[in-house]
Chain A
Amino acid sequence: MQTKLEKTSIPILKSGDYLITSPQVALHDKMAVQFKDDILRRIVETKAKGLVLDISAIDVVDSFLVRQIGEIATAANIMGAQVVVAGLRPEVAMTLVEMGFSLKGVHTALDLEKGLETLRKAGKR
């Protein structure tokens, strides 16, 4: 059990104007909040124009994670960055829809590559 809020070891990489991150481990609640804080800090540090959050390795997304993702998107938008959530697994998409969650205000893409494409297109407008 983690008692300290340490920086999560989830790498957040920079690719030009964008940040890419692809968590490979199950995020428990405290980690998810810390991860959100790390992301937002990195956006400010790098003045990134966009973030691709690749969740293709995440097999269960519940209301808590959905809320964190929503908060990442809202805060990022305020800082002038677009967020694209990429790689939702079929089972995850189905479960979220059945529960009635919509990830409003968040762009989604089939994979990381398409996520970056979405950011580039959004940047051109």
Chain B
Amino acid sequence: MTEVVEVKCEADIVSARVKAKATAETLGFNYMDQTRIATAVSELARNAFQFAGGGKVTIKPTEGQGRKGIEIVVEDHGPGIKNLELALKGGYSTTGGLGLGLSGSKKLMDEFDVKTRIGEGTVVTIRKWL
């Protein structure tokens, strides 16, 4: 049931969130959680598109500690995030998008992990449990 979306243009951001929502629904998440998941994916996919020129979104069911859930990985080969702490606090007010997107998605999900390397790219992994 793994879905992969290559984000190359604006419409792909919508594809990514539609697929994430559909997978969430199939897994049994309620409307509220489906929307939280889709919104988080939209933010992260847009970050990859806007700041890295594109990226890859992988959506799949996951299990952990006896629970079932959804895991989405958004990776890009962009410039990396210079001040991760600031971005997570919702900073970067000049660019607006990056900070809001990261901190926003973090608030919506149960698990949130960012790995970034300057000049190499960023991988954001988010999970939500049923």
Contacts and interface: CB of A to CB of B under 8 A. Distances in A.
Interface string B75-98: 000000000000000100000110
A2 B32 contact: no
Interface residues on B, range: 20 to 34
B17 interface: yes
Nearest to B33: A91
A15 to B, nearest CB: 30
Given A60-B38, A63-B100, A91 B31 contact: yes
Given A60-B17, A62-B101, 17 more contacts: A1-B8, A2-B11, A28-B13, A28-B14, A59-B21, A59-B35, A60-B21, A61-B39, A62-B43, A63-B97, A63-B104, A89-B35, A90-B32, A95-B35, A98-B107, A99-B100, A100-B103
Interface residues on A, range: 20 to 34
Interface in A53-67: 59-64, 67
Q: Which 6 A-B pairs have the closest CB atoms?
A: A91-B35, A99-B104, A29-B10, A28-B10, A62-B42, A1-B9
Interface of B: 8-11, 13-14, 17-18, 21, 31-32, 34-36, 38-39, 42-43, 46, 90, 96-97, 100-101, 103-104, 107-108
